Amino acid sequence: MPKLPIRPRRKPPLAIRQILAWADAFHTRVGRWPHLYDGELPEVPGQTWSAVDRALTVGTRGLPGGTTLAKLLLTCRGRRHWHLPPDLSVAQVLRWADTHHARTGAWPSGHLGEQVRGAPKGTTWVAIELALQRGKRGLPRGSSIAQLLAEHRGVRNRMAVPDLSAEEILAWADAWCARTGRWPKYHQGAIPDAPGETWAAVDTALFRGMRGLPGGNSLAKFLSKHRGVRNRSALPHLVVAKVKRWAVAHKRRTGRWPNTKSGPVVDAPGETWGGIHQALAAGQRGLPGGSSLAEATGTG
């Protein structure tokens, strides 16, 4: 007689309660929760955790399917899995940001890899940033920590700074001059009338054509054009004949010919006799060079 095919033994059905009991026993014995690579269960010879996980996923052996061993333990035993971090909320993230600011004096950024104080273990600012960008863990897609802080805490977002206008910059410069007696320079720090702005940032925007400005400019050139402020990087050309006239006027007024230490040129606001001597010697500002103040005035 032909041999009948041997049918595979049907595996016994599983129940969620039974799986959880096995997981509890494993936790008691090993000190951690099981995962699908933990091999055979001592309580049930031939039964493996990977087979349990597959039955939970596919929905075989009497189980509904659509879950995993990791998800089951997260839901029923609170065991966190790094593939299954808990959902977050915007309000929760803002509370953690407030705590960070109170503790450090600074607002958090999405580049911080440190553990977030008061958050579940393994939650970092980088992880929150990624969740906001990708719309994961219950957070809105396409956002960022900087955007949340700008919207809800009024924190300046360096990646979305507002446009500038010539009128604004001139108003800030006028206020600075009225307060200090001098026109601002690019290295002079924060602008009191524009929180978050610096003269260096304004200078960069003017030069590169950022934030709605045309570019190819600088703070010094801008103030020279609109307020007549002397720009030391673009001084007007000098003419020897004009220098001689200034020297004669100086002689009439003081009784002495000017020298390099005679200070400002009264008849040429912004000029100094020392500066003119340097331009004569070095061949700057349209002068041929190789000369001196004494030679130019005929007193040397």
> What are the CA-CA distances from residue 65 to residues 47, 52, 81, 173, 182 (Å)?
18, 11, 19, 69, 76
HSE-up of 69 (CA within 13 Å, CB side)?
22
> Is 8 among the domain residues?
no
In this structure, is residue 53 part of a structural domain?
yes
Residue 227 lies inside a defined structural domain of this protein: yes
CA distances to 60, 88, 117 from 96, in Å: 43, 11, 7
173 & 222 share domain: yes
In a domain, 10, yes or no: no
Statement to judge: residues 151 and 173 lie in one domain: no
Choose the final residue of a domain: 130, 160, 190: 160
Asked if 244 and 229 sit in the same domain, the reply is no
- Which of 38, 56, 77 delimits the end of a domain? 77
Q: Which amino acid is at 88?
A: L
> Quick one: 252 and 206 in the same domain?
no
What is the reported pLDDT for 7?
55
Short-list 82, 81, 75, 19, CA closest to 51: 19
Enclosing domain of residue 70? 16-77
The count of structural domains within the chain is: 4
Residue that the structure tokens 């040429």 belong to: 268
pLDDT digit of tens for each residue in the chain (300 aa)? 566 555 556 788 999 999 999 999 999 999 999 988 999 998 888 899 999 999 999 999 999 999 999 989 988 988 877 677 778 899 999 999 999 999 999 999 888 888 898 888 778 999 999 999 999 888 989 999 999 998 899 888 777 788 899 999 999 999 999 999 999 998 999 999 888 789 999 999 999 998 889 888 899 999 988 988 887 777 778 888 888 898 899 989 998 999 989 888 888 887 888 888 888 888 888 888 888 888 888 776
Residues belonging to the chain: 300
Residue 5 within a domain:
no
CA nearest to 63, candidates 15, 19, 20, 11: 15
Domain assignment of residue 11, yes or no: no
Residues whose CB is less than 8 angstroms from the CB of residue 213 and which lie 6 or more positions away in sequence, other chains included: 163, 164, 166, 205, 206
181 and 156 in a common domain:
no
Q: Would 4 be classed as within a structural domain?
A: no
Are β-strands 44-48 and 40-41 bridged in parallel, bridged antiparallel, or unpaired?
A: antiparallel
- Do 253 and 209 lie in a common domain? no
Q: Are 47 and 41 in contact (CB under 8 A)?
A: yes
Residues 247 and 288 in one domain: yes
Q: Per the domain annotation, does 7 fall within a domain?
A: no
The rounded distance, in Å, linking the Cα atoms of 170 and 184 is 11
| Nearest of 189, 187, 192 to residue 218 by alpha carbon | 187
pLDDT at position 60, please? 93
Question: Which residues, 6+ apart, have CB-to-CB distance to 184 below 8 Å?
Answer: 172, 173, 176, 177, 191, 199, 219, 223
C-alpha angle with apex 225: 219 to 230, nearest 5 degrees?
75
Query: Other CB atoms closer than 10 Å to residue 192's CB: what's the count?
Result: 11
CB half-sphere exposure, 241, CA atoms < 13 A = 0
Distance CA 79, CA 251 (A): 93
The pLDDT value given to residue 268 = 82
Residue-level pLDDT at 4: 55
Same-domain status, 156 and 170: no
Q: Which of 181, 199, 233 is the last residue of a domain?
A: 233
> Are 201 and 171 part of one and the same domain?
yes
Q: How many Cα atoms are found within 13 Å in the side-chain-facing hemisphere of 96?
A: 21
User: Tell me, what's the pLDDT at 181?
Assistant: 92
The whole-number pLDDT of residue 232 equals: 76
